Amino acid sequence: MVHSGFAFSLTQLIKTSENAGIETFLFFNSGSVLLNQREKLVKSSMEVESEYILWLDSDMTFPSTTLLRLLSHDKEIVGCNYKKRSNPQTPVAYKEIGNWDSWVSLDEEKDLVEVEGVGMGCILIKTDLFKEINKPYFEFTYNRETDDWLGEDFNLFTKFRNIGKNIYIDTNLSREIGHLGIYKFGLG
C-alpha cells in the first residue's frame, strides 16, 4: 500500500532534485520478503552506477529538499530519526544497538548526531559501501539472551560499523519527517 502523502512527497522530491541537476532513478520492489526486496534494490542501484541510494519507505512523508539536505552533509551514511508507529512511540535512532533506552531524542540540539543504528525509512547510503561488505547485505538475527530479533536495518549498520563506517542523523530534517499509519477511532 502506498499512502497518498508518500506519493506526494516523492513526486516533489524528484522534481526538486532534478531541478537541482541531480539525475534520479526510481526503483520499486514489492513482495512479501523484505530482505529480498532490499537486496534487489541495491542490485538495481549498482546496475545504473548510482552514487547514492536514498531509501524511502512508502509509509513516510518528507520535504522536497530531503535528498539535497542529506547530500549536503557529505557523509557516506546519513538519515533521519522519526517515531515508531507502535507504542511506546519512541524514535527509531539509537546510540547503542541493543540498549533500547539509548534512543536519540527528536529534540536533540546538535545538527548531526552519530548513532549505531536507525530505521531505514529515510536514509541516504553511498552505493559503493555495499561492495565493501559481504552478502547477504540484509538479514534478521535472533538474540537468545533477549529472546527477540534484530532487524535487517540494524544488522546492515553493524556490518558497516565493523568496516569503520559511521552512521549519522540529521536532527533538523528529522523533525520534518512523518511516519504514516492507521489508527482505530471509536470505543470498541
What residues form DSSP beta bridges with 42? Answer: none
Chain segment 98-139, per-residue pLDDT in tens: 888 999 999 988 999 999 999 999 999 999 999 999 999 999
Q: Where are the domains of the chain?
A: 4-179
Which residue's entry shows cell 530482505?
35
Which residue's entry shows cell 514489492?
30
Q: Give 188's pLDDT tier (boundaries 50, 70, 90).
A: low
Query: Under CATH, to which class is 4-179 assigned?
Result: alpha beta
Flag the least confident range among 66-75, 77-86, 123-132.
77-86
Query: Is-above-0.75 flag for pTM?
Result: yes
**Residue 185 CA neighbour count, 13 Å, CB half:** 2
What is the CB neighbour count within 10 angstroms for residue 169?
27
Chain segment 8-18, per-residue pLDDT in tens: 999 999 999 99
Chain segment 147-183, per-residue pLDDT in tens: 888 899 999 999 999 999 999 999 999 999 999 987 7
Q: What is the pLDDT of residue 58?
A: 92
Name the strand (E) or helix (H) holding 53. strand 52-56
